[in-house]
């Protein structure tokens, strides 16, 4: 089972990977374009941490339908 901090870290690292891939001139242009296309709507590290804060607050208030998906901290990374 994936923990929220692992999922958060994975999404943030994927964003970084796609960013590096989109800028690497040794990678074929088509691959760089695909990476740029995916990044247009991919959540940033800030977005994911914010989602974690919202989910944690909802859970603390007892209004979350499911458990937390993301976490609000990078301490466990």
Is residue 34 in a domain? yes
The pLDDT tens digits of the residues spanning 24-73 come to: 999 999 999 999 999 999 999 999 999 999 998 888 787 766 778 899 98
Q: How many domains are contained in the chain?
A: 1
Is residue 8 in a domain? yes
Q: How many helices (H) and strands (E) does the chain have?
A: 3, 0
What residues contact residue 72 under an 8 Å CB cut-off, 6+ apart?
Answer: 49, 50, 52, 53, 56
Is residue 70 in a domain? no
- Cα–Cα distance, 9 to 60 (Å, whole number): 22
Is residue 10 in a domain? yes
What's the pTM value of the predicted model, to 2 decimals?
0.84
Domain of 25?
4-61
Is residue 73 in a domain? no
């Amino acid at each position: 089972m994936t923990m929220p901090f692992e999922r958060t870290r994975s999404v943030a690292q994927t964003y970084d990977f796609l960013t590096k891939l989109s800028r690497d001139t040794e990678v074929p242009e088509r691959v760089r374009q695909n990476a740029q296309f995916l990044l247009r709507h991919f959540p940033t590290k800030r977005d994911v941490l914010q989602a974690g804060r919202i989910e944690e607050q909802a859970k603390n208030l007892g209004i979350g339908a499911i458990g937390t998906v993301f976490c609000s901290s990078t301490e466990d990374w």
